[in-house]
Chains A and B, each alone.
Chain A
Amino acid sequence: METSSIVPAQQDEEKVDELLRETTLPPEIAFVLKEFKEDHSGVPAVYLSFQLKPHIVLDRQALTRVSRFMTAFARTLLDHGLSRFPYVSLNEAE
């Protein structure tokens, strides 16, 4: 997978933070964790972990909605010129 020229992580982090500020998270999500590292094939990436609020159990409909939200968020980051590939996951807050 080819990536565009990679900029310092700080610049990509600013793009992520800016979009997070502009975006209303689904009500089930408490916050988003970010991690900048390479993916398993060595491509620079950012991992966005959407943390569920405690004791939330999503039914199918809600799961679909949250999953699509996460995808849309990542694809918006790519449209905004993020140089690292954004991987999303949903996780239970520890």
Chain B
Amino acid sequence: MNQSIDRLNDVLTTKGLKAYYLVKTLRGGTAAMVHAVDDVSITVHEGEIMGIAGESGCGKSTLAKALYGWVNPPLQIVDGSILYHTGNETIDILQVDADRLRQIWWNVVSYIPQSSMNVLNPTMRIKDQFLNVIKTHKKDYEKEEAEATIVKHIDELGLPREVTTSFPHQLSGGMRQRVVIALATVLDCNVVIADEPTTALDVIVQRGILQLLRKIQRKLNCTIVTITHDMGVHAQIADRVAVMYAGKIVELGPVQKVFGDAQNPYTRFLISSLPKVGDKSKKGSIGGKPPSLVRPPRGCRFSPRCPYVMEICRTTEPGYEEIDTDHFASCHLLG
């Protein structure tokens, strides 16, 4: 996607990113590739909240891992680049060595993994886990200074100070999630990648967490990439939304346009299938299931399930159309 946005305002760009899982089948040993992220080019602007939507197995978590530079076998980056623009420096996170990566993590980019309320070490007090992070990722580490940073950060995010002296099991799930978010942002990073930050939490805690993310974004003036299948969450906090299907971005644009004027049939389905209080009309699911990413369908990947499928959809992959400023979609219906 060619975006005519001034490069200076971009904080993160990916170009033609292909992240595949190399799976060896047991019999015969022939290698199979899972095309989890297939030719994804996105640009994230400074200071925005970018939402990535899509159902499970569409590659959104793989994209998150790749953006974080956390690429371990069987995951492989086959092609493409991921560039972070900080200050007057441009870092290709896929090309740096392990030492440099440790400095980039937490200082430039931070990651909140899925079901992150279970990532805390159960045998350490919260404060020690914070200290651990600071020690690992800051070169000029001083204990007193670090402790002051922690208290200041906890206060700023509105968490009770008692959490620092607690063990994880003494905190509720929602509180642990907030602690992990605080932990991820303690070193004032430029970009936070949050993978399903509110899944498995109830609506009230979910709202509290989203409130917290917004607050962090405003206070630290950082950029947040949130990944969730819940379109309601994107509508509430995202500035721009990218919709992923079977490893590809099918629609990308400002949140008002994606929700108000969705162009791709898959996006429209994702939004219209949500039940709502006050609406008793029957809602359905799209028939079929997401395609196998080992052998993705030819042409448009949504074509086997699309209600508006045409002959061309099954043979030719659609390109991106610019519908409006900064609003892109890929579908043959637009051509």
Asked whether A and B interact, the reply is no
Which residues of B are interface residues toward A (Cβ below 8 A)? none
Residues of A with Cβ closer than 8 Å to B? Answer: none
